[in-house]
Every structure is written in C-alpha cells, then in structure tokens.
C-alpha cells in the first residue's frame, strides 16, 4: 500500500513492526516516496530500528509517545535531528515534559512522565464527570498542577528520550523497583517466546515480600521445561541483575489485552493475586484470567 500510493510518512505500531521482523519479512518494492516511519502504541525496541534500516529502507524510524486523550505527543520525531535506536528524538514543541522522581524532584534516570505546563490540546474533563473528580484523580492527583500520564521516561544527554513502559506496571519485588521493559528486552532474544508479561504477586504485608511472576506465551510446539526456564533466569541475571530474575515463570495460552490490543498488566496482576479484576469490561479476552490464576495456584508447592 505504501509503495502503491506513494506514501511519504507511514504511521504504524511497534507491534506491527515486531510481527514483520519476527516473520523475517524483507521488502523489495519501490519506496522512493517514503521518507519516514512513525511508530506508537507500545515500546519500540532497538532491534526494530535495525530491521527497518536493513530490511525495508534506511530512513528515520520515529518513536512517538502521547495519547488519544491529549490528541498529540509528549515526545516525537524531528526531521532535523539524528535518530538513536530505541529513542524518541525530542520533546514536543510547547510541552514542558519531564521525568519526575518519587520525591517530586527531577529524576536522574527513569522517572514518571509528567507535563508541567498547560497545553492547548489538554482535555477539559471526562464525559459525565460533573464535578471533575475522576479527571483530577486520573491525571493530577499524583503531582499537583502537573499532568501525570502514567508512563516511565528517561531523557538522555542529547535531549532524546527512552520510554520504559507504563508506570503502573513497575514492579517492586524484594525491595527493588524494576521496569518490566528491562526484562522484555532480554526475552526478545528467545525465539521460543511469543509474548511476555511480568507482574507482581503480594505474598505478605512486609516491605520487600512481593514476588515477580513472569507469564510467557510460547510459540506453537514449544514447551516451558527446566532447560528453557534455566536459560531465561541466567540471561536475565547476566544482562540485568539478580533482582530481575522472576520468582515464578509460567506458560499461559494468552495474555489479557484491551479492546485496542494493549496488554493489561493490572488485569494479569489481579489474576495472579487471586482478587477481583477491576477492569474486566475493558478486556477483549477476559476468559484468559481464570487460566492465569489457576496456573499460578498450581505452581505453588503444597504445604507439608
């Protein structure tokens, strides 16, 4: 379609690019008019930049991040700046985007994505939210006067930005805060794994007692045996740290996704914790939650 219609800027998703890469596709058509590819919807990993350059066309792949709710982007591409694999090129014009630490100061590394100034496309509120309470609680309760978007972001010395996933998916296990994106980058090297989701299991009320549960969707014909489990654990420890090694690794048929195709960490987390899923109506496949919960329960050794 891009070749036939002489498309100049092609907007797509990280999921679509990953599917093309995993399928081993190589594009051989005439893409003379195409000058940039924009990707949004989820984290765009370094490998996908290399795939587009080597298998499609050596043009800028611009990772953009914002939301339907703001009708725009917080960080995006720029035709006048270099492209670094895995990074969005710059902040959007007029948006004071920052990485906020938990003490409400600027983060040295990964922090909460906030916008400190008002912007023209910011919504006025939610439909039916007569007193504005839900709107305020969603975006402004965490950092007063600043839009808090629910993403984790890290700015580099050259002004580009790397996204690290949703902040509500951050794990706090054994006293360590872990961004799941760090785990998913390592798992991409395993051809047996089709998809993965790391969630937190609460096993006590004390600090640091939570566990990490890694849910894996394996490709057809693959089995989660001791050999594969061991390699996953060793690679996560070697390429990240021992804190990134899951307490439990489970194989499940599918992960919960919303009607727009985004994975729901919250729903999977509720399932492994054995509590009522709060956003079941927002899911395309809520039936998978019962399977996830049962697989976790089956993985617990019987008490003696």
Residue 84 maps to a domain? no
CA 221 to chain centre: 27
The verdict on 98 and 158 lying in the same domain is yes
Q: What is the DSSP letter of 190?
A: -
Helices 14-22, 46-55: axis angle to 10 degrees equals: 60
Is residue 113 within 8 A of residue 152, CB to CB? The reply is yes
| pLDDT (mean) for 53-72 | 91
Q: Tell me: pLDDT of 298 over 60.
A: yes
The verdict on 290 and 206 lying in the same domain is yes
| pLDDT (mean) for 154-175 | 81
* Contacts of 103 by beta carbon, 8 Å cutoff, 6+ apart: none
Q: Tell me: pLDDT of 108 over 80.
A: no
| pLDDT (mean) for 225-232 | 96
Q: Which residue range forms the structural domain that includes residue 280? A: 170-299
Residue 291 maps to a domain? yes
Q: Tell me: pLDDT of 303 over 70.
A: no
Cα separation of 219 and 1, whole Å?
29
* pLDDT on residue 142: 83
Q: What is the DSSP letter of 257?
A: B
Among 16-20, 172-176, 204-208, the minimum mean pLDDT is found in 204-208
Average pLDDT, the chain: 88
Q: What is the DSSP letter of 106?
A: B
Residue 79 maps to a domain? no
pLDDT tens-digit profile of 128-157?
888 988 888 888 888 888 999 888 899 999
Indicate which CATH number applies to the domain containing 153.
2.30.38.10
Residue 98 maps to a domain? yes
Cα separation of 223 and 250, whole Å?
11
| Domain stops at, among 117, 138, 166 | 166
Give whichever of 21-30, 44-53, 146-155, 219-228 has the largest mean pLDDT: 219-228
pLDDT tens-digit profile of 47-57?
889 999 999 99
Residue 140 maps to a domain? yes
What are residue 11's phi and psi, to 5 degrees? -95, 130
Cα separation of 186 and 191, whole Å?
11
The structure's pTM equals 0.66
Q: Tell me: pLDDT of 205 over 50.
A: no
Residue 217 maps to a domain? yes
| pLDDT (mean) for 30-34 | 94
* pLDDT on residue 114: 93
Cα separation of 53 and 61, whole Å?
8
3-state class (DSSP) for residue 37: strand
Residue 82 maps to a domain? no
């Amino acid at each position: 379609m891009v070749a036939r219609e002489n498309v100049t800027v092609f907007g797509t998703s990280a999921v679509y690019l990953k599917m093309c890469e995993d399928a081993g596709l190589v594009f051989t058509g005439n893409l003379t008019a195409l000058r940039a590819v924009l990707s949004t919807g989820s984290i765009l990993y370094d490998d996908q930049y290399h795939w587009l350059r080597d298998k499609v066309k050596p043009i800028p792949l611009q990772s953009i991040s914002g939301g339907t709710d703001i009708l725009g982007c917080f960080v995006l591409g720029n035709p006048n700046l270099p492209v670094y694999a895995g990074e969005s090129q710059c902040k959007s014009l007029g948006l004071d985007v920052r990485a906020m630490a938990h003490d409400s100061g600027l983060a040295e590394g990964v922090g909460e994505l906030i916008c400190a100034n008002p912007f023209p496309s910011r919504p006025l509120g939610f439909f039916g939210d007569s007193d504005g309470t839900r709107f305020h609680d969603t975006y402004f309760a965490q950092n007063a006067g600043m839009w808090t978007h629910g993403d984790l972001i890290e700015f580099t010395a050259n002004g580009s930005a790397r996204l690290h996933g949703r902040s509500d998916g951050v794990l706090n296990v054994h006293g360590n805060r872990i961004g799941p994106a760090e785990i998913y980058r390592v798992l991409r090297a395993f051809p047996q794994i089709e998809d993965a989701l790391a969630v937190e299991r609460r096993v006590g009320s004390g600090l640091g007692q939570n566990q990490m549960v890694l849910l894996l969707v394996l490709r057809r014909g693959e089995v989660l045996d001791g050999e594969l489990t061991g390699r996953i654990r060793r690679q996560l420890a070697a390429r990240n740290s021992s804190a990134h090694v899951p307490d439990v690794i489970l194989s499940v048929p599918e992960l919960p996704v919303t009607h727009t195709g985004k994975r729901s960490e919250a729903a999977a987390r509720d399932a492994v914790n054995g509590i009522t899923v709060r956003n079941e109506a927002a899911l395309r496949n809520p039936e998978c939650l019962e399977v996830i919960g049962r697989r976790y329960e089956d993985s617990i050794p019987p008490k003696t």
